């Protein structure tokens, strides 16, 4: 049995390059919401010393001097391409764990070493051919070692062609000697500090620690990681999606807002989006938190950050009920003569919809459920947020600064590339 980690190389930048191949070999960066900071970089941008999280306005001269191609984040495009990549992967093996938008673990069970290696190489070729996205694959006896192998495959891509297998003890020891403990999946910043205090610097140093020390200082989770790095599987493929314990929808505004009506519109929209996420995982909530805050970077201005949490009289996933309650909370924390740069809503106290406890306060529950099902059905058929509440903006869901936004090449018919 072997585990593989498939990781899309510089995924967001690669998505932009698929439909603009002239960008290949050029530095590309992707900006966060409102074009605030760098959240993804091509290898060429990394070589220029542009760090993750770099504020776009501070690096404006660097971008201009080096002709860096800048894009606003287009998660509609990235999400669709991710779905296509994951669909291709699922053709090869039944055991697939989608770990993130650009990563997936798969398990090879019952295949020979040659068959497994061939499948991995074929996955790389097929994904590139069918989607245009380059991927790297790390193969190993455990998920944690597969992460290490993937790092090697990506770092030395000219020699590995994007595929590296830790298939014997010699390779395992060499790989762990050449990776810092802090770069190992699951160690984390706090544990790295503990390890450095006892002079543990490499992955091999960590593996050589006594089991008792690891369990005492890093809990049973740290011990499981140690076993994984020794080549003993303790983590399996997680096929089922774990439901979230809370759901948050927050955004920075394109420009500052001072009007209560404008804030109500934003909070209503955030409530609708969060409620839809809630229904997708067949859950309800019984607690809501709303926050608003001023611009923390604005000079000579009073900083204002306030939040309020309240309990609903009954559990619900209705956009109408959740937005109504959220607006009540907003009215309590809103202050006149203030300008706001960000707001958000957090749904808490989540429980399965099947466990709904009926109350005297939710007599319209059946009508609300039917209405929400109808709205979701329309959205699924004609596109998200075609049906909106009266207090929502009827033109835009997200009012964000996105001056460098690429087209939705794969999801909007009027934005598909036309070859002449």
13 and 155 belong to one structural domain: yes
Q: What is the pLDDT of residues 47-87, one digit of tens each?
A: 999 999 898 889 999 999 999 999 998 888 888 899 899 99
pLDDT for residue 242: 43
Write out the residue range of the structural domain in which residue 221 sits: 169-229
* Residues of the chain scoring pLDDT < 50: 240-242, 359-361
Please answer whether residues 6 and 106 qualify as being in contact, where contact means their C-beta atoms are separated by less than 8 angstroms.
Answer: yes
264 and 365 belong to one structural domain: yes
182 domain residue, yes or no: yes
82 and 132 belong to one structural domain: yes
119 and 41 belong to one structural domain: yes
pLDDT for residue 240: 46
Can you tell me the distance from the alpha carbon of 129 to that of 137, in angstroms, rounded to the nearest whole number? 16
Please answer whether residues 266 and 253 qualify as being in contact, where contact means their C-beta atoms are separated by less than 8 angstroms.
Answer: yes
Question: What CATH number corresponds to the domain at position 52?
Answer: 3.30.70.270
68 domain residue, yes or no: yes
387 domain residue, yes or no: no
The model's pTM: 0.70
258 and 343 belong to one structural domain: yes
Please answer whether residues 46 and 33 qualify as being in contact, where contact means their C-beta atoms are separated by less than 8 angstroms.
Answer: no
Domain boundary residue among 133, 164, 195? 164
Can you tell me the distance from the alpha carbon of 73 to that of 52, in angstroms, rounded to the nearest whole number? 14
395 domain residue, yes or no: no
pLDDT for residue 341: 87
216 and 260 belong to one structural domain: no
pLDDT for residue 392: 59
pLDDT for residue 360: 44
29 and 151 belong to one structural domain: yes
Torsion on CA atoms 141, 180, 204, 151, rounded to nearest 10: 20
pLDDT for residue 364: 63
pLDDT for residue 402: 64
pLDDT for residue 419: 66
Q: What is the pLDDT of residues 241-251, one digit of tens each?
A: 445 668 888 88
Number of structural domains the chain divides into: 3
Please answer whether residues 1 and 93 qualify as being in contact, where contact means their C-beta atoms are separated by less than 8 angstroms.
Answer: no
């Amino acid at each position: 049995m072997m585990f593989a980690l498939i990781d899309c190389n510089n995924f967001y930048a690669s998505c932009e390059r698929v439909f603009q191949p002239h960008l290949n070999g050029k530095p590309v960066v992707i900006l966060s919401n409102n074009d605030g900071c760098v959240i993804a970089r091509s290898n060429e941008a990394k070589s220029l010393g542009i760090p993750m999280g770099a504020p776009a306005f501070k690096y404006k001269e660097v971008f201009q001097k080096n002709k860096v191609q800048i894009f606003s984040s287009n998660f509609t495009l990235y999400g669709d391409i991710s779905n296509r990549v994951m669909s291709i992967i699922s053709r090869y093996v039944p055991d697939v764990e989608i770990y993130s938008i650009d990563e997936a673990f798969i398990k090879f069970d019952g295949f020979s070493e040659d068959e497994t290696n061939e499948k991995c190489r074929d996955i790389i070729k097929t994904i590139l051919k069918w989607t245009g996205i380059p991927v790297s694959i790390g193969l190993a006896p455990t998920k944690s070692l597969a992460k290490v192998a993937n790092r090697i495959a990506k770092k030395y891509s000219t020699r590995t062609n994007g595929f590296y297998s830790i298939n014997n003890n010699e390779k395992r020891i060499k790989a762990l000697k050449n990776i810092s403990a802090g770069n190992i999946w699951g160690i984390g910043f706090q544990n790295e500090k503990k390890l450095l205090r006892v002079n543990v610097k490499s992955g091999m140093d960590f593996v050589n620690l006594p089991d008792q020390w690891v369990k005492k200082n890093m809990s049973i989770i740290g011990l499981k990681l140690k076993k994984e790095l020794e080549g003993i599987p303790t983590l399996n493929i997680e096929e089922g999606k774990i439901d979230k314990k809370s759901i948050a929808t927050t955004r920075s505004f394109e420009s500052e807002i001072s009007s209560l009506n404008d804030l109500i519109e934003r909070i209503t929209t955030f409530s609708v989006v969060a409620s839809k996420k809630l229904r997708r995982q067949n859950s309800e909530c019984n607690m809501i938190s709303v926050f608003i805050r001023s611009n923390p970077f604005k000079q000579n201005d009073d900083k204002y950050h306030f939040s309020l949490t309240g309990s609903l009289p009954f559990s619900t996933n209705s956009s109408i009920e959740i937005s109504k309650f959220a607006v009540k909370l907003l009215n309590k924390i809103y202050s006149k003569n203030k300008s706001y740069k960000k707001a958000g809503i957090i749904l808490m106290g989540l429980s399965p919809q099947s466990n709904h406890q009926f109350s005297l306060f939710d007599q319209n529950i059946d009508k609300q459920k039917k209405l929400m099902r109808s709205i979701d059905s329309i959205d699924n058929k004609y596109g998200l947020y075609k049906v909106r509440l009266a207090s929502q903006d009827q033109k835009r869901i997200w009012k964000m600064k996105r001056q460098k936004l690429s087209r939705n090449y794969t999801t909007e018919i009027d934005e598909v590339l036309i070859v002449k």
